[in-house]
Amino acid sequence: MLKVVVLGADGRMGREVVKAVLREEDLSLVGAIDTRNHGEDIGTLVTGTPCRVTVAGNLGRVLEETCADVAVDFTTPDSVRQNLSIILKHRVNAVVGTTGLSEKDIAEIDRHAAEANVGVVIAPNFAIGAILMMRFAAEAAKYFPDLEIIELHHDQKLDAPSGTALKTAQLIKEKRDSKKQGHPNEHENIPGVRGGQLDGMRIHSIRLPGLVAHQEVIFGGLGQTLRIRHDSINRESFMPGVIMAVRKVVDLKGVTFGLEKLLTE
């Protein structure tokens, strides 16, 4: 049985991870880390039923006392770097859903994970449907090179564009030649109205209350358009991917970036 510690356990995503881990017979929740509700039973907070795991603030101590196998981090970009430093120091595998890490951050994490002989899965999106959406979009870009990406998230999301949008653009970049889209004399009457740009692709970020996580890739061709869209209606949509990553990360070494790498193994 894999022993799991959840960081950000009392947050929106953390609560879903706690519930998901508690449901699985081969996983054991042994630690819950958060900045609030210290000493409270995380099971009572999340499901109304105690699970004998209390919320704590000292990550290092929890990892030592529980001999955890996997730590799942859904905190913030400001916290995840320090959290991973502690996790890898204790030679614990990690699953990271926090976005905002730079390529330099990931390279450094990969080096430390390799030195600790543990695995780290970092994924911009844990919804399996979103992974398939990205895969289909990359395939379509070979035939429809003109496209725009629109990503929509709740208004409490801190980074823009989303990690999923960036990952989609990177996958598409591997499949098509670079090109600048639109009219060469195009002019923005309002700066930024055409969105951001990566390798000629336009990326638009929408932040509104009521949204969870949504993305649409619109392709344009002669006399036709193609739309590929994925919608996460609630945060439960990410849990099958999280649980899959928790089970597989213990057999990995170094950083695995993107849930799609686990779907092919």
> Could you say which DSSP state residue 110 is in?
H
Strands (E), 123-198: 147-153, 196-198
CB 125 within 8 A of CB 238: yes
Structure-block tokens of residue 147? 């496209």
CB 123 within 8 A of CB 74: no
At 140, which amino acid appears? Answer: A
Task: Tell me if residue 154 is catalytic.
Answer: no
User: Which residue in the list 3, 19, 157, 253 is annotated as catalytic?
Assistant: 157
End-to-end CA distance of the chain: 21
For 112-140, b/e burial (b = at least 16 CB within 10 A) is bbeebebbbbbbbbbbbebbebbbebbeb
Treating both helix axes as pointing N-terminal to C-terminal, what angle do 59-66 and 77-89 enclose, rounded to 10 degrees? Answer: 40
Query: In angstroms, how far is CA 85 from the centroid of its own chain?
Result: 18
The rounded distance, in Å, linking the Cα atoms of 244 and 208 is 30
Torsion of CA 78, 80, 81, 86, to 10 degrees: 130
Task: Tell me if residue 104 is catalytic.
Answer: no
CB 262 within 8 A of CB 256: yes
Residues annotated catalytic, as ranges? 153, 157
